[in-house]
Amino acid sequence: MAIATRLTQRLGIAHPILSAPMAFAAGGALAAAVSNAGGLGFIGGGYGDEPWLETQFRAAGNASVGCGFITWSMAQQPHLLDAALAHKPRAIFLSFADPTPYVAKIKDAGVLAIQQVQTRRDAEIAIACGCDIIVAQGAEAGGHGEKRATMTLVPEIADLIAQRAPATLLCAAGGVADGRGLAAALMLGADGAVVGSRLWASSEALVHANLHAAALAATGDDTVRQTVTDIARGYDWPERYTIRVVRNAYVDAWLGREHAMRDAGQPERDRYAAGVSAANPAIAAAIAGEAAGLIHAIEPAGVIVAKMVAEAEGLLRRGPKIAGR
């Protein structure tokens, strides 16, 4: 038994699940584990670090995986795209800037071009430049994102795709952490789901146990979209994007005082970096989304994928009870 969608057919994969290319957390081992479990796994190229990227492609071994980048950052060292393409990834997953300058190069290399979007306007741009797959990301998501909710963004973009580019595939991202989320994503008109936070909480993710513990202890209420974490890391993110993390003492101390935090400058950034080095969960951010409230164990990625698919299959087969049936 399997859930067959346009995504599984086009990619030749068993399950309609892509793992999110989570910067620093999604290395080759996680990407390979997801691909070996029947989805498509992604290395989180993030801000771009060539030696790290090479190490992670090696760690993925022979598994067919993709690679993602934070586009505005990759644009500052565009050779990274060539470095990733040299590994013949299954797909390149771009996010957080206009993908137009890169799509032709990706497709000419015989690689699928994926663009994650946060608004309908962004989806129009992704369609216009010929992306193969659009990922509609709702604000529930862990990590960077914007304001729209998965529940309305996905069907709105499904309608747009049906109208303007019916061959383009659509994935939902933001809050998919179990079979209910996967089934819901398909019902909303997506061909598959991108799973971030749930796979961040896997044994293969490059995440310290202290931060895993912080996310396990959290509910969805305990996460917040904010900019404190980026100021602390010295990242110059475009203003429209915020990052959802599990609240901790550090975030609470600076939330609403971001100007003062910028004024505090390098010493404050050093304090944060020291907290990260020590994996101190009162300082370092556990980057997880509202799905934190649905995550109760750190498990191998293959187990997470298998459970998610089995639960979704059961729900889709049974469906909700309809009176008179």
Ligand X SMILES: Cc1cc2nc3c(=O)[nH]c(=O)nc-3n(C[C@H](O)[C@H](O)[C@H](O)COP(=O)(O)O)c2cc1C
Residues lying near ligand X in the complex (CB under 6 A) are found at 20-23, 25, 44, 46, 68, 70, 95, 116, 137, 140-143, 173-176, 194-197, 200, 287-289, 291
CB of 205 to ligand X, least distance (A): 8
| Secondary structure tally for the chain: helices H, strands E | 15, 11
Give the integer Cα–Cα distance in Å for 44 and 70.
Answer: 9
Q: How many residues does the chain have?
A: 325
Residue whose entry in the numeric block shows the structure tokens 């729900």: 315
Beta carbon nearer to ligand X, 163 or 225: 225
Smallest separation (angstroms) from ligand X to the CB of 177: 6
Enter the tokens of residue 150.
């998965």
Minimum distance from residue 46 beta carbon to ligand X (Å): 4
Q: Are the CB atoms for 287 and 200 separated by under 8 Å?
A: yes
d(CA 120, CA 118): 7
Which CB atom, from 64 or from 137, has the smaller least distance to ligand X?
137
Work out how close the CB of 174 gets to ligand X at its nearest, in angstroms, rounded to a whole number: 4
User: CB-wise, 23 or 190, nearer to ligand X?
Assistant: 23
By beta-carbon proximity to ligand X, the closer residue of 21 and 89 is 21
Of the candidates 263, 226, 224, 218, which has an alpha carbon nearest to the alpha carbon of residue 242? 226
State the Cα–Cα distance between residues 295 and 302, nearest whole angstrom: 15
CB of 130 to ligand X, least distance (A): 19
Whichever of 25 and 158 has its CB closer to ligand X, that residue is: 25
